[in-house]
Each structure stands twice: as C-alpha cells, then as structure tokens.
C-alpha cells in the first residue's frame, strides 16, 4: 500500500471513487419499478450461480477471483 500511495503522489494521479447513490440515488425508486417490470416481462435476462452450503464458500470465492463464475455467484446457506 505504501508503494502504491507513493506512486500516486509522485505521478500526481487523481484517484476518485464512484458511488452510484451519491449522484443517482434519487432515481432508485424509478429504476426499481422499471427494472422489475422489465424482468417480469422477460425483457431482461440475468444469470446467477447458486452454490449450496457455507462450507463451499471459500472455494466459491477463490473461483470468483479466478473468473470461474458467470453472472452473480450466490452462496445458499439455508433452505426455506
């Protein structure tokens, strides 16, 4: 971390985060309403991968970092 901060300071790099709710938070309710309708109408497709069991979470996380996942990776820790 010290090396990185040193590089940023020496090279006068500007670092800025992006928090969506800072600029667009007031639009979230409209987004949620429209997106829900699009998903219900099958206009939006999404993929999720469900991995069962908390004991599989470490391996699933490593796979996530290696790019082995597709879409959203979810760890299911209990059943209804």
Structure pTM? 0.48
Query: Which residues, 6 or more positions from 49, have their beta carbon under 8 angstroms from its beta carbon?
Result: 69, 70, 71, 72, 73, 74
Q: What is the pLDDT along the chain (80 residues), one digit of tens a residue?
A: 789 889 889 999 888 888 888 889 999 999 999 999 999 999 998 888 999 999 999 999 999 899 998 888 999 998 76
What is the pLDDT, as a whole number, of residue 45? 84
What is the pLDDT, as a whole number, of residue 80? 62
Give backbone dihedrals phi and psi of 68, rounded to 5 degrees, phi first.
-80, -10
Using the structure block, give the residue that is written with the tokens 């497709």.
45
Query: Which residues, 6 or more positions from 21, have their beta carbon under 8 angstroms from its beta carbon?
Result: 28
């Amino acid at each position: 971390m010290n090396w990185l901060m040193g590089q940023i300071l020496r090279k006068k790099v500007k670092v800025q985060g992006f928090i969506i709710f800072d600029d667009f938070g007031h639009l979230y309710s409209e987004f949620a309403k429209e997106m829900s309708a699009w998903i219900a109408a099958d206009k939006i497709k999404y993929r999720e991968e469900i991995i069962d069991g908390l004991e599989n979470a470490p391996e699933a996380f490593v796979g996530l970092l290696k790019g082995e996942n597709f879409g959203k990776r979810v760890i299911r820790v209990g059943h209804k």
